[in-house]
Structure 1
Amino acid sequence: MSKLWGGRFEGNTDEFAEGFQSSIGFDSRMYREDIMGSIAHAHMLGAQGIIPQEDADKIAEGLRSILGDIDAGKVEFSVHDEDIHMNIERLLTERIGDTGKKLHTGRSRNDQVATDFRLYMKRMVDETTERLTVLCGTLVDIAEENTGTIMTAYTHLQKAQPTTLGHYMMAYFEMFYRDIQRFLDCRKRTDVLPLGAGALCATTYPIDREMVAGELHMSGITRNSLDSVSDRDFALEYLAAASICMMHLSRLCEEIILFSTNEYGTLRLSDAYSTGSSIMPQKKNPDMAELIRGKTGRVYGDLTALLTVMKGLPLAYNKDMQEDKESAFDAADTLKACLRVMDGMLKTAEWKKDKLRAGAGLGFTNATDAADYFVKNGMAFRDAHAVVGRLVLYCEQQGKALDELTLEEVRQFAPEAEKDIFDAISLETCVHTRNVPGGPAPEMVREHIRQAKRLLGEL
């Protein structure tokens, strides 16, 4: 079978090399984007009088029939035709005859590939943000149910101060909402049409690029033909945003794994998102969380791979850039799957509220509030810090918590202390008095939830 580009060649491509350089094994997933791009291009060729209108209509009809057959699983692609673009062009010519050969007028595979890839990645952005929006909604729902559920907040993985489960969940909402913003920002730069750039220096035909962009629902056209065919920043931006999002997922997974241990015992995962051991009958392992944590490195690798491919390429198109899609496809597939699993895992998890509160009462999480009590009664903060530090040391020696001390014991270190210190250091007071915007006080978390719902509603 002759190559569509084989006019100047006398010999055949080596059989192994032909398979080596073929991309149909992975770029076939862009068949819809390729066909819709070609239909828009044909419409423009006809409207501009570059080819007869009846030929343009015949091409568009043939392409739509191919799309229907591919959707129905009736088409088998050929490695011989290298990629999805050449496969579809050959199918078209076989169906409608020589008229199909006119489709490629005024374009190159270089700008065709760039167009298909942009359209596909725009769809990946939309699907990813949809998944993220669902996850953010789940976080908000859990937060709304737990604005008063007291738990420990940590620094250095050491007990620090009391907070609420609602406050904790809204921290992750902020991370994932930033991810949504990053993907939407990436979408703006993805949503421009490179078709019309030709191989690298545009075309002599009187094409209408804006018409094609409009039919493909793209927001504009690229401004430089050399850059149009050699730019993969939009894919790199997706991969960068995906890597940051996976990092956020991995952080949440690490905490889910910790909280579900016997040592913490504050979270029970559903059986639907856990697995057992082949030898230890008691085990209930957080495998889904561990897999998401592990797959984070995979997405990082996808980003690094494409950065490395692009780092030394001269203008304009180079065959190296065929290596762009597998990384982007893998990252998109991985991230969307991880987001779906995380959402289900959170929706079905059971938080042990009594144990969360009991844990917050240990480890002197109210020590800062004790210092604040003395400051509010006239003591300099550094002096108050030292006094409470000595109180904590005394408690450790006596095996007591701060709120288990007697007033007489407290007065050994701070004679000015009154009985109201114990109200000041209760966990409820510690949480409720932190009522500044962004704080854990229930009214502040409820306001944060109202803002979050509004932001999600605006997407």
Structure 2
Amino acid sequence: MGENQATQQSAPLWSGRFSDTPTGELELFGASLGFDQRLWPQDIQGSIAHATMLGRQGILSAEDVDAIVGGLRGIAADAAAGAIAFDPSVDEDVHMCVERVLTERIGEAGGRLHTARSRNDQSVTDSRLFAKEQAATLYEAALDLCQAILAVSREQGDAVMPGYTHLQPAQPVLFSHHLMAYFWMFLRDTVRFKAAWEAADASPLGAAALAGTTYPLDRRYSADLLGFSHVIPNTMDAVSNRDFIIDLVYACAVCQMHLSRLCEELVDWSSAEVAFVEMDDSHATGSSIMPQKKNPDFGELVRGKTGRVYGDLVAILTVMKGLPMTYDKDLQEDKEPMFDAVDTVTGSLHALRGMVSTMTVKADRMRECAHEGYMAATDLADYLVGKGMPFRQAHGVAGRTVAYCVQAGVKLQELTLDELRAQCDLFDEDVFDWVDIDNVVARRDTYGGTGHEAVAAQMDLAVEKLAAARGALG
């Protein structure tokens, strides 16, 4: 091969109009292959659908379609085996890489694949296919975490723990009730992931660069081949819209926030001072200098990664905020935030599922702490209301009783009847049932409350919701 031939072959596929092209650092700066090579399965999937549609419409011959589809499947097999070299110094992006390798393998027919197609609709087709796949994966991973939370909640159904407001002891609750609050958070995340999946479920293929094409395409047919439910009706919107990526990254950001909240609690509960739970050795690490340490590192890491997912959302929103119609090179920056967000949240969901499933719950320690902080004070006031005292007045009596306990260094449950009657003569022997921690919890049996029957009903509902959510995508 002569030098001119080699230069011509390595030139970009779009170089016909140019007398010179970017080289060196500028060429690498403009290349996206370093990260969008990850989309090779979607790129090949989209190209097979496009070629098949072109053949059905009589735009390509059956021989060309067979050669193209066979060549693309061979590339897919080689890529899966790691036998395709993705080199940004050779190819600008994954689309050019696949087309170049295809043409090298099957010859002239490979050059016909791009008929009636632009990288603009090709790229966003790849991203939509990827977004659907990842939204479905995240959806199932969130459901798996919900399942793990529900299992631990059922196992620890009778454990009583302190409930807090302002990080101050407030009222005792069932540990299962506390944990199930996170079940509902993550179940809501599945709704957002499903919405992101639906947002991505539309085909831009056939929009070409921005205005459509003169070829008699069947966009509905290629959409069906790719599993899209419908075709985007405006070609300009088709190539410029990245709302579906924003929706997916937003869903990731909210889910990561929920993950971080639960990790914050697990880290706190794992401390020696609180000691409500202990992480399994398989989900903890030690110290390089302090032999005694057992650190809830994975919870801390999930919590720490929340900022980067927020950053991914801000990044894609900022990319889109000032873009004119239709395609602009800025849109090359749409993929890395999506990749990073889905990878981070997927890893975090798996990590937290393992942490929750394997942790040891220290129910005795929780119960001990549930007697601290005068958490039966509201029930003491409610007792007086039952005796006919207005609640605001009863609130004051209960407050003064707590103040007495603080000064005396005793718990509410340790007061004698005489001490209670010194605060209010309405107190009688039955008051001790009212301040018993188990009774305090059990009385809160209204719908959604922490009483045993209410929590059991809540978990039954959770089972129904999980069953209905499984397999709801695709």
TM range (shorter): over 0.9
C-alpha distance in structure 1 between counterparts of 2:386 and 2:229, whole Å: 58
C-alpha distance in structure 2 between counterparts of 1:27 and 1:458, whole Å: 35
1:189 aligned partner: 199
The one-letter code matched in structure 2 to 1:454 is E
SS at match of 1:193: coil
1:316 aligned partner: 326
User: Do the aligned partners of 2:154 and 2:176 also contact (CA within 8 Å) in 1?
Assistant: yes
1:257 aligned partner: 267
1:44 is matched with which residue: 47, 53, 72?
A: 53
Q: CA deviation at 1:50?
A: 1.4
1:409 aligned partner: 419
C-alpha distance in structure 2 between counterparts of 1:453 and 1:151, whole Å: 24
1:370 is matched with which residue: 380, 387, 391?
A: 380
Map of 1:1-12 to 2, 5 A cutoff?
1-12=10-21
Map of 1:150-165 to 2, 5 A cutoff?
150-165=160-175
User: Do the aligned partners of 2:267 and 2:296 also contact (CA within 8 Å) in 1?
Assistant: yes
C-alpha distance in structure 1 between counterparts of 2:386 and 2:228, whole Å: 60
The one-letter code matched in structure 2 to 1:409 is E
2:410 is matched with which residue: 397, 400, 410?
A: 400
1:418 aligned partner: 428
1:455 aligned partner: 465
The one-letter code matched in structure 2 to 1:182 is R
Correspondence 1:56 to 2:65: yes
C-alpha distance in structure 1 between counterparts of 2:152 and 2:354, whole Å: 13
Q: Identity over the aligned pairs, expressed in percent? A: 49
2:236 is matched with which residue: 226, 230, 235?
A: 226
User: Do the aligned partners of 2:199 and 2:247 also contact (CA within 8 Å) in 1?
Assistant: no
1:101 is matched with which residue: 106, 111, 114?
A: 111
C-alpha distance in structure 2 between counterparts of 1:280 and 1:78, whole Å: 45
Correspondence 1:67 to 2:79: no
Q: CA deviation at 1:279?
A: 2.1
2:35 is matched with which residue: 17, 26, 30?
A: 26
Listed one character per residue, the Cα deviations across residues 29-56 of structure 1 (whole Å, up to 9, x for unaligned) are: 1111000111011111011111222212
The one-letter code matched in structure 1 to 2:160 is I
Map of 1:49-448 to 2, 5 A cutoff?
49-79=58-88, 80-448=90-458
Listed one character per residue, the Cα deviations across residues 237-269 of structure 1 (whole Å, up to 9, x for unaligned) are: 111111111111111111111111111111111
C-alpha distance in structure 2 between counterparts of 1:444 and 1:53, whole Å: 65
User: Do the aligned partners of 2:34 and 2:87 also contact (CA within 8 Å) in 1?
Assistant: no
The one-letter code matched in structure 1 to 2:207 is A
C-alpha distance in structure 2 between counterparts of 1:453 and 1:41, whole Å: 43
CA RMSD of aligned residues (A): 1.0
C-alpha distance in structure 1 between counterparts of 2:326 and 2:459, whole Å: 48
SS at match of 1:264: coil
Q: CA deviation at 1:280?
A: 2.0
Q: CA deviation at 1:412?
A: 1.2
SS at match of 2:37: helix
User: Do the aligned partners of 2:252 and 2:309 also contact (CA within 8 Å) in 1?
Assistant: yes
C-alpha distance in structure 2 between counterparts of 1:212 and 1:86, whole Å: 21
Listed one character per residue, the Cα deviations across residues 374-416 of structure 1 (whole Å, up to 9, x for unaligned) are: 1122111101100100000001011111111111111111101
C-alpha distance in structure 2 between counterparts of 1:384 and 1:221, whole Å: 65
Q: CA deviation at 1:305?
A: 1.1
SS at match of 2:162: strand
TM-score by length of 2: 0.95
Q: CA deviation at 1:12?
A: 3.0
- Structure 2: which 5+ residue stretches go unaligned? 1-9, 470-474
Q: CA deviation at 1:346?
A: 1.1
Extract structure 1 runs of 4+ deviating beyond 6 A: none
User: Do the aligned partners of 2:433 and 2:439 also contact (CA within 8 Å) in 1?
Assistant: yes
SS at match of 2:423: coil
User: Do the aligned partners of 2:120 and 2:239 also contact (CA within 8 Å) in 1?
Assistant: yes
Listed one character per residue, the Cα deviations across residues 323-358 of structure 1 (whole Å, up to 9, x for unaligned) are: 111111011111111111111111111111100001
SS at match of 1:161: strand
The one-letter code matched in structure 1 to 2:74 is S
The one-letter code matched in structure 2 to 1:68 is A
Q: CA deviation at 1:25?
A: 0.8
C-alpha distance in structure 2 between counterparts of 1:14 and 1:40, whole Å: 33
C-alpha distance in structure 2 between counterparts of 1:308 and 1:273, whole Å: 37
User: Do the aligned partners of 2:132 and 2:197 also contact (CA within 8 Å) in 1?
Assistant: yes
SS at match of 2:172: strand
The one-letter code matched in structure 1 to 2:16 is G
The one-letter code matched in structure 2 to 1:21 is G
The one-letter code matched in structure 2 to 1:229 is V
Q: CA deviation at 1:14?
A: 2.0
